[in-house]
Amino acid sequence: MSVIRVTDVYKKFRVYYDKGATLKEKTLFKNRNRYEDRWVLKGISFELNKGEAIGLIGENGCGKSTMLKMLTRIMYPDQGTIEVNGRVSSLIELGAGFHPDMSGRENIYTNAAIFGLTKKEIDDRMEDIIEFSELGGYIDNPVRTYSSGMYMRLAFSVAINVDADILLIDEILAVGDTNFQAKCFGRLKELKNNGVTIVIVTHDTNTVSSFCNKAIWIDDGKVVASGKAKTVVDEYLRFMNQKLYEAMERRQREKEEKERQEAIARGDKTAFCFTVNSSHLTTYDVKWKMGDQSGVFELHPGINRVQVEFRLQPGENRWCFETDMPMRVLDTDPRKLCFSMAGYEVKNGVFVEGIVDLSWGVGTYGAESDEGGYWRWVQDKGEIVFEFAEMNEETIALHKSRKLQSYDRSSTRYGLRTTEITDARFVNCKGESVIALYQGECVDLEISYHVSRPSDQGYVFGMGFYTMDYECIYGVNTRLDGHDIASVPRDGKVTFKIKDLPLMAGKYILQVAIEDGNSIPLDYVKDYMHFDVVSNEKGMGTTFIKHDWIIE
Amino acid sequence: MKLFREIYEYRQMIFGLVKRDLRGRYKGSVLGFLWTFLNPLLQLLVYTFLFSTILRSDIDKYYLHLFVALIPWMFFAASVQGGAGCVLNQAGMITKIYFPREVLPIAHVTSQFVNMLYTFVVVMAVVLLAGVFPSLMALLQLPIIMFIEYCLALGLTMLISSVTVYFRDLEYIMGIVTMAWQFLCPVVYSIDLVESIAKSYPWAMKIYMLNPMTPIVLAFRDILYYGKPADLSTLWLAAVLAAICLIVGFAVFGRLKCRFAEEL
């Protein structure tokens, strides 16, 4: 026998653009009363039998609370019918109608009367209600002296003790302390077993899958799925994760696009200028930043002023390089742009080595050739070569001494940089570059590198996943896995293939590194990027362990 | 019919609301419930003083003449004027829980009515002290007249309270309307005054008597001031008007109540 039968229910709300409720406004500003109809429910049908518990789930604003309000008969559908057979008690708003100046006992009378109980029925239940509320001697004090927890306990006790045939609950299971909550749940289960039909609206999917036997997933005013609670909840969670994933991806894309647009907007005179004004340091690290790209120029003492300008022309994907060091265009072939720099001002020293670190290229001056000293900069397929005109013995000596310079392990990126990581990215099964990953799906970590000076000690590529608290979840490298890499191409890519990602939902840090065979770091990036993982699994912790339960 | 059965099922809620209203009214004051009796008594003292020393009236025992009409009028005025907001002010309950919405105006008018009954303890005492001894027949009429007035007040309150939800100005408009209405009824003056003025215009008198509160006020005065049974011929009209008011009130309320939760 169906206790609740909802047949093809439609409900619209009037959304006023600017509502005027007074006579003056109604007559003088006719257009202020314009409104549009918003359909919040578009044809909902379901049926509930005696003793069933059903969970209505869905995103915020999907219409589930409206559905509940119509079951309560606070609102009425515009189309369709709702049949409810039996006494309804709603735990939608607890304590409605409480009078602060009256005692708890008196309020029980008024509150229970709101549920349609007669005085005799209330008298019969009085002891149960007081006992369930655990208010004890406070019951005869005015309600205004109650703490919020006491207030809610009293209200809940009344609502749950009215002996309803149908109980409607909206997101109110956060009543009182955990013990009282457990007690409420126990009571709800008891009622369910006694044949009370229960409808719950909640975002807590655990409650739905553990407590309800049926669930209905409403999205945009329509029933997307209904049936066994567990199945519907899983389906819903999958959908929500997909949505989260897409939102994260979209945010990332938007962020990238925005930065690009900003770079273009700044483009016609986007400049980074730096003035070197300290002469007592041995090496300057001149950091520059543009968009999310940044890098370091390393200058040695004596250069007073270097000014470089980057420009990104609208519609172009090409960086222009301008400097007050005069440059000479050597080759105008778009695939191979060569500039030369000459006549830059040098006092008491030389501009020996520079490193520009862009996501698409690495350039070093002086590292490539001891004699010539040119700066090579590779961008995708095209090549930009900077040639420095002046080079002398002093330059070369300095350059050589630099090779022996130590590295600072405390910084998030360190290493000799003779081989550098130019890019590290996640690529999903479909070959798309992503920053949000799915637990249980295959994903490739691609590490691109550029060798500016080959190592004679071989190469070791490594990766690591860390929690945001910087605790290692997993880290490994090619040597540990038994790969001996003696030599690599100038530009290449190392792929770390993951068959099914075991990380649970959360935010993680990616570490990537290149070392030489003697464990000397060539390029070690402790915090390369943060990435998100979404998961349909409900277990705890950071890693998923494949498992089955056997209950005997 | 289903509606009335449901309202009956919710009778405890009506009792509860009435009790809450009556008890809450003087809650926190030192004299508390005593004010229910003290209030009309003090009013009477003021009127007696005013009309016996300053505004001398040629009506005999003017204070009683006024008092027996004023108390029923105040019940009516408080019902209708305060009743405008009786649904609006319970927005919290309307949007959150279900109950037959008719409970609210019924509880409001009933609470005012019960308050009037308490006041009548004072009224009866004053009437007897003033030396008026109404006949048994007249006293038996009293509950009937009160019932007619109750129905009239309830019907109007139903109508006004439901319309106020959609048109909130009505609450303030009713303030002025009830004030004007009071002077359209023979409360502060005697009906003889109206008759003498309207002598040459019999139709004006007819219109004046169409006001359902006029025969009600007159009936109260007949019984409690003159001590004689009321003039039933005019009271019939009041009863019919009250019934119409009640039917219209329930009908309009029933139509408008569906969208209360959305409008509040």
Read off the pLDDT of residues A485-536 as tens digits, 9 standing for 90 and up.
988 988 899 999 999 899 998 889 899 999 888 777 788 888 888 888 888 8
CA-nearest residue to B28 within chain A is A101
CA-nearest residue to A13 within chain B is B262
> Looking at the predicted structure, is the pLDDT value of residue A390 above 70?
no
Q: Per the domain annotation, does A234 fall within a domain?
A: no
ipTM score: 0.71
Test the A interface: residue of B98, B167, B255, B264 with most A CBs within 10 Å: B98
- Shortest distance between the Cα of A127 and any Cα of chain B, in A, equals 19
Residue A312 · residue A264 · CB < 8 Å? yes
Q: What pLDDT, on a 0 to 100 scale, did the predictor assign at position A270?
A: 31
Token pair for A421: 């990581």
Test the B interface: residue of A11, A38, A118 with most B CBs within 10 Å: A118
Strand, helix or coil for residue A322: strand
pLDDT band at B12 (very low <50, low <70, confident <90, very high): confident
**What is the CA A82 to chain-centroid distance, rounded?**
40
Boundary (domain end) residue, out of A405, A427, A456 = A405
Q: Per the domain annotation, does A248 fall within a domain?
A: no
How far is B177 from B8, CA to CA, in rounded Å? 32
Q: A283 and A400 share a domain? A: yes
> Looking at the predicted structure, is the pLDDT value of residue A456 above 70?
yes
Q: What pLDDT, on a 0 to 100 scale, did the predictor assign at position A95?
A: 65
Q: Which residues contact A123 (CB under 8 A, 6 or more apart)?
A: none
Contact A110 B167 (CB under 8 A): no
- Shortest distance between the Cα of A13 and any Cα of chain B, in A, equals 8
Determine the average pLDDT of the residues in A465-492.
89
Contact B94 A74 (CB under 8 A): yes
Boundary (domain end) residue, out of A170, A198, A228 = A228
> Looking at the predicted structure, is the pLDDT value of residue A305 above 80?
no
Q: What pLDDT, on a 0 to 100 scale, did the predictor assign at position A349?
A: 29
How far is A371 from A367, CA to CA, in rounded Å? 10
> Looking at the predicted structure, is the pLDDT value of residue B193 above 80?
yes
Chain-wide mean pLDDT for chain B? 86
Q: Which domain holds residue A319?
A: 270-405
In the A/B pair of chains, how many CB contacts fall below 8 A? 80
Q: What pLDDT, on a 0 to 100 scale, did the predictor assign at position A68?
A: 84
Q: Which residues of A, range 44-103, sit inside 8 Å of B by Cβ?
A: 69, 72-76, 88, 90, 92-93, 96-97, 99, 101-102
Pairing between β-strand A214-219 and β-strand A53-57 as defined by DSSP bridges: parallel
Here the CATH number for the domain that contains residue A193 is 3.40.50.300
Judge whether B5 is closer than 8 Å to chain A, CB to CB: no
Q: Which residues of B touch A92 (CB under 8 A)?
A: 96-97
Q: Which residues contact A539 (CB under 8 A, 6 or more apart)?
A: A504, A545
Q: A490 and A514 share a domain? A: yes
Q: What pLDDT, on a 0 to 100 scale, did the predictor assign at position A263?
A: 58
Above pLDDT 70, what percent of chain A?
Answer: 66
Residue, of A241 and B152, whose pLDDT is higher: B152
Q: What pLDDT, on a 0 to 100 scale, did the predictor assign at position A211?
A: 83
Residue B152 · residue B244 · CB < 8 Å? no
Q: Per the domain annotation, does A458 fall within a domain?
A: yes
> Looking at the predicted structure, is the pLDDT value of residue A216 above 70?
yes
Residue, of A493 and B206, whose pLDDT is higher: A493
Tell me how many domains chain A contains: 3
Q: What pLDDT, on a 0 to 100 scale, did the predictor assign at position A372?
A: 30
Q: A173 and A143 share a domain? A: yes
Q: A337 and A304 share a domain? A: yes
- Shortest distance between the Cα of A90 and any Cα of chain B, in A, equals 7
> Looking at the predicted structure, is the pLDDT value of residue A374 above 70?
no
Test the A interface: residue of B3, B8, B9, B13 with most A CBs within 10 Å: B13
> Looking at the predicted structure, is the pLDDT value of residue A279 above 50?
no
Q: A424 and A400 share a domain? A: no
Least confident of A326-335, A486-495, B123-132: A326-335
> Looking at the predicted structure, is the pLDDT value of residue B247 above 90?
yes
Determine the average pLDDT of the residues in B249-263.
87
Chain-wide mean pLDDT for chain A? 70
Q: What pLDDT, on a 0 to 100 scale, did the predictor assign at position A446?
A: 92
> Looking at the predicted structure, is the pLDDT value of residue A29 above 80?
no
Determine the average pLDDT of the residues in A168-180.
72
Q: A388 and A426 share a domain? A: no
Q: Per the domain annotation, does A260 fall within a domain?
A: no
Contact A23 B169 (CB under 8 A): yes
Judge whether B258 is closer than 8 Å to chain A, CB to CB: yes
> Looking at the predicted structure, is the pLDDT value of residue B112 above 80?
yes
Contact B95 A74 (CB under 8 A): yes
Determine the average pLDDT of the residues in A538-550.
89
Strand, helix or coil for residue A388: strand
Q: A56 and A203 share a domain? A: yes
How far is A244 from A263, CA to CA, in rounded Å? 28
Q: Per the domain annotation, does A263 fall within a domain?
A: no
Judge whether A395 is closer than 8 Å to chain B, CB to CB: no
Token pair for B163: 């319309």
> Looking at the predicted structure, is the pLDDT value of residue B169 above 90?
no
Q: Which residues contact A155 (CB under 8 A, 6 or more apart)?
A: A94, A95, A98, A111
The partner residues of A328 in beta bridges, in order of sequence, read: A340
Residue A420 · residue A356 · CB < 8 Å? no
Q: Which residues of B touch A72 (CB under 8 A)?
A: 97-98
With the CA atoms of A180, A186, A190 and A191 taken in that order, what torsion angle do they form, in degrees rounded to the nearest 10?
Answer: 50
Least confident of A179-188, A241-250, A268-277: A268-277
> Looking at the predicted structure, is the pLDDT value of residue B108 above 90?
yes
Q: A92 and A171 share a domain? A: yes
- The owner of tokens 């890693």 is A543
Contact B96 A102 (CB under 8 A): no
Question: What does the angle CA A134 – CA A140 – CA A144 come to, to the nearest 5 degrees?
Answer: 90
Here the CATH number for the domain that contains residue A499 is 2.70.50.60
Q: A392 and A428 share a domain? A: no
Q: Per the domain annotation, does A339 fall within a domain?
A: yes
> Looking at the predicted structure, is the pLDDT value of residue B142 above 80?
yes
Angle of helix B170-184 versus helix B136-166 axis, rounded to 10: 150
Q: A331 and A440 share a domain? A: no
Q: What pLDDT, on a 0 to 100 scale, did the predictor assign at position A415?
A: 73
Q: What pLDDT, on a 0 to 100 scale, did the predictor assign at position A87?
A: 80
3-state helix/strand/coil string of A181-229: HHHHHHHHHHHHHCCCEEEEECCCHHHHHHHCCEEEEEECCEEEEEEEH
Q: Please choose, from the candidates A146, A192, A151, the residue with its C-alpha nearest in 3D space to the C-alpha of residue A169.
A: A192
Q: Which residues of A touch B94 (CB under 8 A)?
A: 74
Q: What pLDDT, on a 0 to 100 scale, did the predictor assign at position B245?
A: 92
Read off the pLDDT of residues A82-118 as tens digits, 9 standing for 90 and up.
888 888 887 776 666 677 777 888 888 878 887 778 8
CA distances from A522 to A331, A336, A359, A363 (A): 32, 27, 17, 15
Q: Which residues contact B185 (CB under 8 A, 6 or more apart)?
A: B69, B73, B211, B213, B214, B217
CA distances from A489 to A31, A448, A479 (A): 72, 11, 18
How far is A121 from A137, CA to CA, in rounded Å? 22
- Shortest distance between the Cα of A105 and any Cα of chain B, in A, equals 12
Contact A110 B17 (CB under 8 A): yes
Least confident of A60-69, A258-267, A535-544: A258-267
> Looking at the predicted structure, is the pLDDT value of residue A395 above 60?
no
Above pLDDT 90, what percent of chain A?
Answer: 7
Residue, of A263 and A374, whose pLDDT is higher: A263
What DSSP string runs through A415-479? Answer: S--SEEEEEEEEEETTS-EESEEETTS-EEEEEEEEESS--TT-EEEEEEEEETT--EEEEEETT
> Looking at the predicted structure, is the pLDDT value of residue A335 above 50?
no
Residue, of A32 and A335, whose pLDDT is higher: A32
Q: A25 and A154 share a domain? A: yes
Read off the pLDDT of residues A111-148 as tens digits, 9 standing for 90 and up.
888 777 888 888 888 888 888 888 888 888 888 888 87
The partner residues of A89 in beta bridges, in order of sequence, read: A167
- Shortest distance between the Cα of B97 and any Cα of chain A, in A, equals 6
Q: What pLDDT, on a 0 to 100 scale, did the predictor assign at position B47?
A: 80
Read off the pLDDT of residues A401-426 as tens digits, 9 standing for 90 and up.
333 333 444 456 777 778 888 888 89
Least confident of A356-365, A427-436, B36-45: A356-365
Least confident of A8-12, A252-256, A398-402: A398-402
Q: What pLDDT, on a 0 to 100 scale, did the predictor assign at position A193?
A: 87
Q: A452 and A391 share a domain? A: no
> Looking at the predicted structure, is the pLDDT value of residue A394 above 50?
no
Contact B97 A117 (CB under 8 A): no
What DSSP string runs through chain B? Answer: -HHHHHHHHTHHHHHHHHHHHHHHHTTTSSSGGGHHHHHHHHHHHHHHHIIIIIS--SSTTHHHHHHHHHHHHHHHHHHHHHHTTTTGGGHHHHTT----TTHHHHHHHHHHHHHHHHHHHHHHHHHHHTT----HHHHHHHHHHHHHHHHHHHHHHHHHHHHHHH-TTHHHHHHHHHHHHHHHTTSSS-HHHHHHHGGG-HHHHHHHHHSTHHHHHHHHHIIIII-S---HHHHHHHHHHHHHHHHHHHHHHHHHGGGHHHH-
